[in-house]
Amino acid sequence: GAGVSQSPSNKVTEKGKDVELRCDPISGHTALYWYRQSLGQGLEFLIYFQGNSAPDKSGLPSDRFSAERTGGSVSTLTIQRTQQEDSAVYLCASSPNTGWGEAFFGQGTRLTVV
Amino acid sequence: EDQVTQSPEALRLQEGESSSLNCSYTVSGLRGLFWYRQDPGKGPEFLFTLYSAGEEKEKERLKATLTKKESFLHITAPKPEDSATYLCAVRAVSLPGGGNKLTFGTGTQLKVEL
């Protein structure tokens, strides 16, 4: 597709369950980002992938959060043992260049932990 | 402390009433300042990239400008469909990630009324 695609668009899960969120970046974009946006809050950086380099995981809030990017394209963000405070919109973005240029966002996955 | 600050937090305008949104930043090694528009329930939509002081970009009723300390998003004769949250983001060498990721302000929520 032409843009960044995220799935699912909405996810409701029970506290303690694991969830996986998927991101398909724009074709040819080498950089991929995950951000989190809680209700009424700004965008919080989670993790960054660039080509085959080691990801920048400095924004992951706990070891329950992990992400991988397979083949330099699709990425999956996994949250284990979900907690209510994990409820937020998870946004994925991609960018064609390392360290420069704008990033293009998907529509996000709204995660609700009940 | 390096940071990105947007003001005002919220702005209410009458249709046709021009105004400006502010994004101030205290960083070094700027690698780009970005403006996004975000509608409720959607991901941020890219608007503009500015790289150096004095640069200006325009699109329809929006004009973005950049100085060494801040950026303005000028909205001329706004319409109700311009209502959205406007986000500013910065890439900079001095920010965590060394410019590899975008650091966002908390946004300005704009409401344009008839």
Residue A1, pLDDT score = 54
- Find, in chain B, the residue whose alpha carbon is nearest to that of A48: B101
Residues of A in contact with B89 (CB under 8 A): 43
- Look over chain A and give the mean of its residue pLDDT values, rounded to a whole number: 93
B34 vs A98, A102, A106: nearest CB: A102
The pLDDT value given to residue A101:
84
Quickly count helices (H) and strands (E) in chain A. Answer: 0, 10
Radius of gyration of chain A (CA): 13
| Measured CA distances, A113 to A34, A37, A83, B76 (Å) | 19, 15, 6, 42
Tracing tokens 């998927």 back to the chain, one arrives at A22
pLDDT band at A7 (very low <50, low <70, confident <90, very high): very high
pLDDT bin (cut points 50, 70, 90) of residue A19 is very high
More confidently predicted of A41 and B36: B36
In chain B, what residues touch A98 (CB-CB under 8 Å)?
A: 100
**Residue A97 pLDDT > 80:** no
Q: Tens digit of pLDDT for each residue in B74-103?
A: 999 999 999 999 999 999 888 877 778 889
pLDDT given for residue B60 in this prediction: 96
Distance CA B6, CA A30 (A): 29
Mark yes or no for CB contact B46/A43 under 8 Å. Answer: no
**What are the two backbone dihedrals, phi and then psi, of residue B21, each rounded to the nearest 5 degrees?**
-105, 145
Q: What is the pLDDT of residue A98?
A: 67
Q: Quote the pLDDT of residue B37.
A: 98
Residues contacting B69, CB < 8 A, separation 6+: B24, B25, B26
Single-letter residue type at A88: A
Q: What pLDDT does residue B93 have?
A: 83
CA distance B93 to B113: 40
| Minimal Cβ distance to B100: which of A41, A98, A104 | A98
Q: Chain A partners of B91 at a C-beta cutoff of 8 Å? A: 99-100
pLDDT (tens digit, 0 to 9) for every residue of chain B, 114 residues total?
A: 668 999 999 999 999 999 999 999 998 888 999 999 999 999 999 999 999 999 999 999 999 999 999 999 999 999 999 999 999 999 988 887 777 888 999 999 999 999
Instruction: Tell me the C-alpha distance between B54 and B56, whole Å.
Output: 7
Query: pLDDT tens for residues A21-34?
Result: 999 999 999 999 99
Q: Which residues of A touch B (CB under 8 A)?
A: 4, 6, 31, 33, 35, 41-43, 45, 48, 50, 56, 58, 91, 93, 98-108, 110
- Report d(CA B106, CA B11) in Å as an integer: 14
Residue A79 has pLDDT above 80, yes or no: yes
Residues of chain B neighbouring A88 (CB-CB closer than 8 A): none
**What SS3 state is found at A113?**
strand
Whether B78 and chain A come into contact, CB under 8 Å, resolves to: no
